Structure 1
Amino acid sequence: MRNDARARLFAPIFTALVASAWIVLWAWGAGPYARYVHHASWSDLPGVAAICEAVPGGSLLLDALLHSAAWLLMIAAMMLPTVFPLLAGFRRLTAARPDRRVLLALLVSGYASVWALFGVAAHVFDATLHQVAERVPVISLYAWLLGAGVVGLAGAYQFTRIKYRCLEKCRSPLMFVMEHWTGRNARRNSFVLGVSHGAFCVGCCWTLMLLMFAVGTGSIGWMLALGAVMAAEKNLPWGRRIGQAVGVALIVWACGIGLMHAG
């Protein structure tokens, strides 16, 4: 297949893959194993069930694999659309190479590995907090503070210097590829390129992703909203202003939670 034909097919195939991830998430969330997609929100405390219930008749390893698969599916649905310009630019750069598909797969793998590590850390922290709350009932009475804190943190982070630095890296994908792509040891270079971009992406969006744990992961509506915000921030000309508006809205929301429970 000629390069121009491949170029025309790249965007539709990419869109179909992302759409498939959303469909699978929706179907999974409506099925008998939805608990691997949904985690309890802080508004559900006290009495929340254990985060990682074993598959009936299954093993702890299978349980962990299903949680990991659900998280990576969320990342594919929410984050891949935000890095489409990077992937498209890298595809053009390597279009003449016979191993271009392998290099693109390694780039995506490197990117996904960073978000996978973030997911492990976030899930462990979230599960630990839930377990502590179950053992210390008084914490459950003030669970709203944790939710308000996460929402407020996400809002305040939108205005920090590190957020802007990471966002600028994400908003200049072609420059990022040119800075990090050497062509030497191409497979390793592709994976490291994905890891590097993933690290900046996490630096840009980690607090927004934490909102999933404050409101309960697995909500298709929340994932669509947060994914749209992150994609707009990175890819639209007025993305920074959208991010600032979201920051203000989150801070107001956190204050509203506080006022609701003040009495």
Structure 2
Amino acid sequence: MACAFTEWRRIKMSVVVHGSPLSPFTRKVTLVAMEKGISFESKDINPYNPPDHFESISPLKRIPILTDGAFRLNDSSAIAAYLDAAFPSPNGTIIPTEPKALGYALWIEEYADTALFGDISQGVFRPTFINQMRGEPIDTQMIEEAVRNKLPVRFQYLESEISGKKYFSENRLTVADIAVYAQLANLDHAGQLPEQVSYPYLMGHYSQMKARETSKALSSQESRYLKFMLSQLKSSLSVDGSA
């Protein structure tokens, strides 16, 4: 599937992002590439039904995977760092260079990639969408547990870190902002974002990120993909006599 974001293309079509449109880690890498104006192609890989050669290109059996000619790289954080270093941009770096700003941005990225991802993916996204794609009912009990008891802890921490600021680090867009947005976008797709009044700074940051041209284009594509996948499921269930 070729990437449709021609307005962000600059040079070097050898870069390919292999992943899934609804993966927050694929989303993170894709947004880094788009924000830096890197020319790239997207190729879909379903991590729940991977191709036979998947382990040979992804030893941990995870997405995304980046290829740049003969060079291959795994892990979204490693890929983001590579893209930032390999493709200088007039907009500056996505990863700060000042030591404290660097350390802090990488910490927020790590928090988003681990703690926030775990509670959103296991507690909301999978019980909602993966269940449906497997023909199983939405697990409302698991979702309610995550929304009421698990996610508030994550939101409270991030709210305290973004409070009074427009961006997490250096008062400009960095990988920290992209990483947090990339996770919250799946919560948005599931219709489970917290109310603005509860976390005004965090939700303000999310709205700001969502309004960026890169995010708007990507979100629109993701919504179409999700709608298509669910409609395909509904059609298959109807044919099987299950709906």
TM-based fold match above 0.5 = no
- Taking structure 1 as the reference length, what is the TM-score of the superposition? 0.31
Highest RCO, 1 vs 2 (Cα 8 Å, sep ≥ 6): 1
Name which one, 1 or 2, has greater alpha-carbon Rg.
Answer: 1
Structure in which a larger fraction of residues adopt helix: 1
